[in-house]
Structure 1
Amino acid sequence: MNLPSAEVLRHIVDVHCHPTDAPEGVSDASMERLEITICAMSTMPSDQAKVRSLALRYPDKVVPCFGYHPWFSHLISTESTPISKEDHYRKLFFSESVHIKPNDDVRLEEQLQLLLHALPDPRPLSAIIDEVRRNLVEFPSAMVGEVGVDRVFRVPVDFFASPRVLTSFHIPLSHQLAVLRAQMELAVELGRSVSIHSVKAQQATIELLGDMKQKHGARWNKISVDLHSCGFSAQSWLDVEKKHENVFLSLSTVINHKHANHRALIAACSPDRLLVESDYNDINMCTLRTWQMINIVANVREWPIENDDAWTDDPYLSQPGEEWGVIRRLEQNWIRFKNGRHPLKQTRKEKKRPDYQSEDSENEKLDR
């Protein structure tokens, strides 16, 4: 697939990728060749500093994203008091929410002992939030991510081993949600956008979004939320889109192209909520993978793809119209996502209340 010129590529944003996860790291040569903007996600203890370093080296190309992925949430203790390593993992993996089959006790105990030997001491959630806070404060344009919930993931003995040896243990959903909620509360507090992973946890994700909106109101709408590589049904997405003015949808060929509903999602989504991503860990492939997703979006929505000759930065084309192509539309969506401050729709009851304070006046108060 032929890529457009650098003049066109500079308008493209890969809203979710993992370059610091590559075993060989991220070379300066690769970053010098990069002609798009990337949102580099962190997920685990070891890559928070790697993302930070990459953003310091290439501030014009990298939007850093700090947070802890649900796959690593078992490394975090949500207890209010210190807890031993064994007590933490035993309590987590043998919780009431974990269904243990008869006669499995011995096998599971053996797996637990393997994990106790391989896993580190848990870190308090408060320490995790302090760490993410420091990174976000250092980078005013940074996002929170990748965070989320995953009901499929099984805990491996060694995440970095090849092949991975998986245990029978899942991380309880309640624990994942506690870690996610704390990070989202921080995002609201600091006014930062969030990239959310949600696998087989659609209802839990929707309920959490509703809780956040109910609790924070206009402050919730001040940030943007991306459901990355979204696997929702088209109808479920439409329900989310209707209830949340600040939630966007991004898709990748790595994940979504495997599922038949990704084209239906693109067709159903409001044109100003669509974003694209690579979800790739090889920086040399991020541009191509993002470009592939752009072409799919253009095909489904029947939007033209700007070529080198047709591209223009004419200010008279600053408003969306029939002449806008897929790249310009997605670029404007990214700008809306990045800027936040989404208008909060009034309910019928609120419109009737004479003392109702609009979202504009509330936002003004928040900015004082």
Structure 2
Amino acid sequence: MFDESEYDDATALTADQKVSHYQSVLTPKPDERDFCLALPDPRPFGHFLGQTEDYLLRFPLALIGEVGLDRSFRIPEAWLPGQADDRNDALTPGGREGRQLSPYKVSMDHQRKVLTAQLRLAGRLERAVSVHGVAAHGIVYETVAETWKGHERRVPSKRERKRAEAAAKADAEASALADAPDEGDDAAHDVSKPFPPRICLHSFSGPAETVKQYIAPSVPCEVFFSFSTTINAWSDRDTDRPGKDGKVEAAVKTVPDDRLLVESDLHTAGEDMDHYLEEIVRKLCEVKGWDLEDGVRRLGRNWRRFVFGKE
């Protein structure tokens, strides 16, 4: 995708512009003109965002994602003669599909520009977002936090909290005496925000310290953390470090109980997916010390709140 504003609002690029675009967004800068020309013709980013918005308006329960940043992904080499004609059309275009990988990656600046626009769209339409980060936990946090800059929740001091509690108690007593209805927070609800109302960090593999950044009292967005047994690297408690928590277990224990989610992270539905979902539910209940039935209920409530904004 290319930014139209950098090409006089063009809807398509010339061959020279296509080469220039890929040389500006790939790292290291590709010198081979033929390699750049063999890549897909980039599409205007505004068109992509507009299509995304159309889908979201057509499907009011749809989420955005998964989106995110990836420091590891490398661009596949061009198709060899005849390969493209024989590819499986049922697969999403752009995958490796047996091709060799080139040395080129997509620059973080370009990825961040795309992700930021998607996050702001989610904020404007009040949709939840599924975000991933591959070898990029710090940059993902910086990018997401930039969208809520200036909208942070003010954290009151201990004295202010005591005063507020006393005032709330007095107001409640006065309301009860007057039989007055409580309007709650809905009257002050602002639907136009530059950040999503809810974010799921899927198959989260960051450390406990990163969890603490996302759940800080000043963060104005609800951030959930999803785990799987297919992607997350759980420690083996029975061998090398019996009784010790690994990085993933430490992160899970840091996540508030009401911000925890599960996933299979599998590419197909069916019995295998059900197996991996059961496996991760049991794993989280073990780490959190929950009874299985209690854990299933908790995780169900969390999922409904992430998707619908309420239980």
**Equivalent residue in structure 2 for 1:283, among 245, 261, 269:** 269
The one-letter amino acid of 2:130's match is S
Q: Provide the C-alpha distance between the structure 2 equivalents of 1:85 and 1:115, rounded to a whole number of angstroms.
A: 12
**Equivalent residue in structure 1 for 2:148, among 199, 210, 213:** 213
- Residues 168 and 87 from structure 1, CA distance in 2 versus in 1: closer, same or farther, beyond 3 angstroms? farther
- Residues 152 and 143 from structure 1, CA distance in 2 versus in 1: closer, same or farther, beyond 3 angstroms? same
Could you list the runs of 5+ residues in structure 1 that have no partner in the other structure? 1-75, 101-107, 307-324, 342-368
CA shift, 1:265, in A, is: 1.2
**Equivalent residue in structure 1 for 2:2, among 77, 96, 103:** 77
2:78 pairs with 1:149: no
Q: Provide the C-alpha distance between the structure 1 equivalents of 2:249 and 2:194, rounded to a whole number of angstroms.
A: 29
Q: Counterpart of 2:214?
A: 240
Deviations 1:64-113 (A, max 9, x none): xxxxxxxxxxxx1123132626445533543398346xxxxxxx544x52
CA contact (8 A) 2:25 2:110 kept: no
Please report the TM-score for the alignment, with normalisation by the length of structure 1.
0.60
Q: Counterpart of 2:133?
A: 198
CA shift, 1:257, in A, is: 3.0
**Equivalent residue in structure 2 for 1:132, among 52, 74, 79:** 52
Q: Which structure ranks higher in relative contact order (CA pairs < 8 Å, sequence separation ≥ 6)?
A: 1
CA contact (8 A) 1:144 1:193 kept: yes
Structure showing greater radius of gyration is 2
The one-letter amino acid of 2:34's match is Q
CA contact (8 A) 2:260 2:302 kept: yes
SS at match of 1:187: helix
CA shift, 1:124, in A, is: 0.5
2:26 pairs with 1:94: no
CA shift, 1:335, in A, is: 2.2
Q: Counterpart of 1:315?
A: none
Q: Counterpart of 2:253?
A: 267
CA shift, 1:221, in A, is: 7.3
Q: Counterpart of 2:227?
A: 251
Q: Provide the C-alpha distance between the structure 1 equivalents of 2:68 and 2:275, rounded to a whole number of angstroms.
A: 26
Q: Counterpart of 1:121?
A: 41
CA shift, 1:161, in A, is: 4.7
Q: Provide the C-alpha distance between the structure 2 equivalents of 1:161 and 1:210, rounded to a whole number of angstroms.
A: 32
- Residues 231 and 222 from structure 1, CA distance in 2 versus in 1: closer, same or farther, beyond 3 angstroms? closer
CA shift, 1:216, in A, is: 5.3
Q: Provide the C-alpha distance between the structure 1 equivalents of 2:96 and 2:133, rounded to a whole number of angstroms.
A: 24
Q: Counterpart of 1:336?
A: 305
- Residues 89 and 153 from structure 1, CA distance in 2 versus in 1: closer, same or farther, beyond 3 angstroms? farther
Deviations 1:243-272 (A, max 9, x none): 435111001112113674211111111111
> What RMSD over aligned residues (CA atoms) do the two structures have, in Å?
2.6
Q: Provide the C-alpha distance between the structure 1 equivalents of 2:69 and 2:224, rounded to a whole number of angstroms.
A: 17
Q: Counterpart of 2:168?
A: none
CA shift, 1:121, in A, is: 1.3
Q: Counterpart of 1:173?
A: 108
Q: Counterpart of 2:203?
A: 229
Q: Provide the C-alpha distance between the structure 1 equivalents of 2:278 and 2:288, rounded to a whole number of angstroms.
A: 15
SS at match of 1:226: strand
CA shift, 1:115, in A, is: 4.9
CA contact (8 A) 2:68 2:133 kept: yes
Q: Provide the C-alpha distance between the structure 2 equivalents of 1:149 and 1:214, rounded to a whole number of angstroms.
A: 20
- Residues 96 and 273 from structure 1, CA distance in 2 versus in 1: closer, same or farther, beyond 3 angstroms? closer
CA shift, 1:304, in A, is: 0.9
CA contact (8 A) 1:93 1:170 kept: no
Could you list the runs of 5+ residues in structure 2 that have no partner in the other structure? 80-93, 153-189, 236-245
Q: Provide the C-alpha distance between the structure 1 equivalents of 2:205 and 2:131, rounded to a whole number of angstroms.
A: 12
SS at match of 2:206: coil
SS at match of 1:123: coil
Please report the TM-score for the alignment, with normalisation by the length of structure 2.
0.70
Q: Counterpart of 1:15?
A: none
Q: Provide the C-alpha distance between the structure 1 equivalents of 2:106 and 2:17, rounded to a whole number of angstroms.
A: 12
Q: Provide the C-alpha distance between the structure 2 equivalents of 1:113 and 1:162, rounded to a whole number of angstroms.
A: 21
Pairs aligned (count): 240
SS at match of 1:84: coil
SS at match of 2:261: strand
- Residues 237 and 161 from structure 1, CA distance in 2 versus in 1: closer, same or farther, beyond 3 angstroms? closer
Deviations 1:120-146 (A, max 9, x none): 211101000111011100111100011
2:287 pairs with 1:300: yes
CA contact (8 A) 2:124 2:194 kept: no
Identity over aligned pairs, percent: 31
- Residues 132 and 216 from structure 1, CA distance in 2 versus in 1: closer, same or farther, beyond 3 angstroms? farther
Q: Provide the C-alpha distance between the structure 2 equivalents of 1:156 and 1:204, rounded to a whole number of angstroms.
A: 24
CA contact (8 A) 1:275 1:330 kept: yes
